[in-house]
Structures are given as structure tokens and as C-alpha cells.
């Protein structure tokens, strides 16, 4: 997890150093998203059929190798923009198999009654890495170079391989390899389309990452607007991890609420609203004394409410999906995390026409409209009851 955070940070900084283009950051986002989105469909099928431990070992080794190659190119001063984008795409391709496998393996390790706590714990670990690693990475960048970051990332995935290889688990596959891959994908799609709760929560997850959290993809451009350098860039990313950890801690108080559906809708609405504060602080207030503190506060609050939504909604889905469809259905949900860099392509393009702050404010407006329409027209979400 720490290696993944450093990878995202290092690739963005290296590419912006090479090009100074928000649009190129958008292309990087597309490369980090599209292969994962396409391959997640097949990854979910494999996760439901093959040995999950061996799959995770394989994906860890492949990502370690790719990041070591990028580190070597950077160290030798041979790295070009297309190298960064190509390797990001290849890592994304592998991640399309990795993510649904992780989601499918969780229920084999966790009792049903502990699911919300387990999802929250997993989020705390993930967000703690978002909190700590970019700050450390910013300091490393200030004193060394991006190639050091990439070699640390490669080492992180090698550690992942060693840990997974040491697990001794009796994991049963839920389905036999009958029917075509396409048929099994359609089975997962049909399940989602026929369950309104799954369809809407997954759609909200996609929209939140694409229109709201995609501001993370343009963070090097915002760091330049705020004139905060490498360390400030690292702290700006890290504060999103702080917000997510706080949001995760707050979830416990809401997990048994009869108004859980309303909490989900309010949290996702507020995550979009605070994008406006981030846009103002990096746009209208850029160059003033208040700009950086306000940007930090806004980034924290966006991440806090996004975290509340993601944990509560994922728990609802994990508790309701049948085991034999878990890899495929949660694989579709896993596409959520590829929507953030893909959204960076849209916001990066808009930023080249106007500005980065205007781009993220416009995207947040689209998402807020989506949330309002769902809140007014979909009682199945408003009436989700945590006590049941």
C-alpha cells in the first residue's frame, strides 16, 4: 500500500517535471485507469476460479519488475514522458487482476459480523499510508530524485510477494470453470443491473472518484500554483490521508444507524462541496498567505467525507453479494479506483482551456447534481438501515 502511494506520487512528479503540462497528467491518469478498467472484468472471473494466493504473488512480482525498470530509466536519465505513461499503463493492466482478487479473498478471512470493522481497518491501513508515505516521499524528492522513489516502490511489492507467499490458507474456489469467460462476466453485470442498491452505490462510487477525487491527479499543478515545492506537494497529498483516517474513525458511530442511507448521501454530497473550497484556495487566493492552509483544510475535508461514503457503501455491498459472484461483482466495484486517474484526463483537458481550479469546480458541480437527483428519486438508498 505504501509502495502504491509512492508510485502515484513519483510518476506524477516525474511527468510534470518533464512536461509541465496538466494535460499530460491527464494522459497519465488515463493510462493508469483504462487498462485496469478493461482487465478488471476478466480479473473478477479469475478471482472466482483460480488460486487467489498465487494470483496475488504473480501480480506483486510483475509490478515490482515494472517499477524497477522505471527507476533504472530515471536513474540513467533516459526517462521520457512516454516511458512514464507506458509503464503506468502496464502497472494498471496488472492491477486489473490484482484488485478483484483482493476483494474476493477478504470474506475467506473475515467473519460476516466483523465485515464493517474489517473494511474500516483495511481503510485505516490504506489511508495511513496515504498520510505518511507522500510526506516522506516529498522529503526524499527534496533531497534526492524520483528514481529513489521508484526503487522503494519496487521493494514494497517484493515485500508483498514474500508476505503472500508465506500465507498458508485453505481457500476454496466458489465456482467451477464452466461456461465462457464472457458468459461469467455477463452474469456479474446482470446481478448488478437487477439490484438497484448495487447499481446506484457503484454508480455513486464511480462518479465520486471521476468527478471529485480526480483533483488528486492534478496535484503537481496545484503545488505549482501554490508555489510549495516538493515537500509541500507531499504534505498536500498526505493531508488527504489524514482526512480519510478521520473519516474511517467516524464510520463506527454510524454503522448501526437506521439512517445509514441518509448518512451515505450526505457524506458524498459534502465531499463534492468542499472541492469548491479547494478550487478557491488554489485559484482566487493563490499567492496569498491563506491559500496553502485553506487548500490543506479543503483536501482534508474532501477526503474525510469520501472515506465515510466509500467504507459504508462497500460494506453494504460486501454483505449482500453472493459468494459465487463476489470476485466479479466486487471487481466491478473495484473499477471505482481507476475512475480517479481517468477523471484526471477530463479535468486536465479542461485545465488547459481555462485553469485547474475551474476544471475541478466544474467536475464537482456535475457530481453534486448527480447526488441530488439520486437523493430525490431513489428511496432504496435513502432507506438503507444499518441496524438490519
Distance CA 160, CA 106 (A): 16
pLDDT range class, residue 180, cuts 50, 70, 90: low
Q: Assess whether pLDDT exceeds 50 at residue 173.
A: no
Q: What is the DSSP letter of 173?
A: P
Residue 316: per-residue pLDDT: 84
The mean per-residue pLDDT over the stretch 279-294 comes to: 90
| pTM (predicted TM-score) | 0.74
The mean per-residue pLDDT over the stretch 108-131 comes to: 74
* pLDDT tens, residue by residue, 188-200: 888 888 988 999 9
Higher pLDDT, 38 or 277: 277
Distance CA 27, CA 37 (A): 15
DSSP for 29-43 reads: HHHHHHHHHHHHHHH
**CA 364 from centroid of its chain's CA atoms:** 17
What structural domains does the chain harbor? 2-382 (1.20.1250.20)
CB 313 within 8 A of CB 208: no
Considering 137-151, 262-276, 344-358, the range whose residues carry the highest mean pLDDT is: 262-276
Q: Assess whether pLDDT exceeds 90 at residue 333.
A: no
Higher pLDDT, 73 or 50: 73
> In sequence order, which residues have a C-beta less than 8 Å from that of residue 26 and are 6 or more positions away?
217, 218, 344, 345, 346, 347, 348, 349, 351
Residue 171: per-residue pLDDT: 54
The mean per-residue pLDDT over the stretch 101-119 comes to: 73
Residue 91: per-residue pLDDT: 92
Distance CA 91, CA 62 (A): 8
The mean per-residue pLDDT over the stretch 127-137 comes to: 77
> In sequence order, which residues have a C-beta less than 8 Å from that of residue 277 and are 6 or more positions away?
294, 297, 298, 301
For residue 212, give the C-alpha cell: 471529485
**Other CB atoms closer than 10 Å to residue 178's CB: what's the count?**
8
Q: Which of 6-10, 134-138, 195-199, 372-376 has the lowest mean pLDDT?
A: 134-138
Residue 174: per-residue pLDDT: 46
* pLDDT tens, residue by residue, 253-263: 666 677 888 98
Amino acid at each position: 500500500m505504501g509502495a502504491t502511494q509512492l508510485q502515484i506520487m513519483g510518476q506524477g512528479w516525474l511527468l510534470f517535471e518533464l512536461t509541465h503540462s496538466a494535460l499530460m497528467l491527464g494522459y497519465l491518469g488515463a493510462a493508469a485507469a483504462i487498462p485496469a478498467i478493461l482487465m478488471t472484468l476478466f480479473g473478477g472471473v479469475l478471482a472466482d476460479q483460480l488460486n487467489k494466493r498465487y494470483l496475488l504473488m504473480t501480480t506483486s512480482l510483475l509490478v515490482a519488475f515494472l517499477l524497477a525498470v522505471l527507476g533504472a530509466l530515471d536513474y540513467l536519465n533516459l526517462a521520457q514522458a512516454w516511458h512514464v505513461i507506458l509503464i503506468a499503463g502496464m502497472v494498471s493492466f496488472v492491477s486489473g487482476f490484482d484488485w478483484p482478487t483482493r476483494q474476493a479473498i477478504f470474506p475467506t478471512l473475515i467473519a460476516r459480523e466483523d465485515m464493517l470493522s474489517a473494511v474500516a481497518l483495511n481503510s485505516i491501513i490504506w489511508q495511513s499510508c496515504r498520510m505518511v508515505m507522500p510526506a516522506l516521499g516529498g522529503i526524499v524528492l527534496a533531497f534526492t530524485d524520483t528514481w529513489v522513489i521508484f526503487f522503494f516502490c519496487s521493494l514494497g511489492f517484493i515485500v508483498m510477494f514474500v508476505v503472500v507467499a508465506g500465507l498458508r490458507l485453505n481457500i476454496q474456489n466458489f465456482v467451477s470453470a464452466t461456461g465462457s469467460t464472457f458468459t461469467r462476466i455477463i452474469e456479474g453485470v446482470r446481478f448488478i443491473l437487477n439490484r438497484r442498491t448495487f447499481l446506484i452505490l457503484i454508480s455513486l462510487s464511480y462518479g465520486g472518484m471521476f468527478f471529485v477525487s480526480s483533483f488528486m491527479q492534478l496535484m503537481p499543478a496545484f503545488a505549482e500554483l501554490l508555489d510549495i515545492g516538493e515537500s509541500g506537494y507531499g504534505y498536500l497529498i498526505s493531508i488527504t490521508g489524514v482526512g480519510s483516517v478521520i473519516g474511517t474513525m467516524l464510520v463506527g458511530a454510524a454503522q448501526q444507524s437506521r439512517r445509514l442511507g441518509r448518512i451515505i448521501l450526505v457524506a458524498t454530497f459534502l465531499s463534492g462541496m468542499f472541492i469548491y473550497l479547494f478550487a478557491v484556495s488554489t485559484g482566487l487566493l493563490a499567492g496569498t498567505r491563506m491559500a496553502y492552509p485553506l487548500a490543506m483544510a479543503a483536501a482534508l475535508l474532501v477526503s474525510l467525507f469520501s472515506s465515510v461514503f466509500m467504507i459504508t457503501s462497500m460494506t453494504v455491498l460486501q454483505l449482500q453479494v453472493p459468494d459465487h459472484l463476489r470476485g466479479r461483482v466486487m471487481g466491478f466495484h473495484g473499477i471505482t479506483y481507476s475512475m480517479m486517474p481517468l477523471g484526471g484526463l477530463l479535468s486536465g483537458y479542461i485545465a488547459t482551456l481555462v485553469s485547474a481550479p475551474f476544471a475541478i469546480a466544474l467536475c464537482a458541480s456535475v457530481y453534486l447534481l448527480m447526488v441530488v437527483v439520486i437523493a430525490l428519486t431513489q428511496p432504496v438508498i435513502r432507506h438503507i438501515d444499518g441496524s438490519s
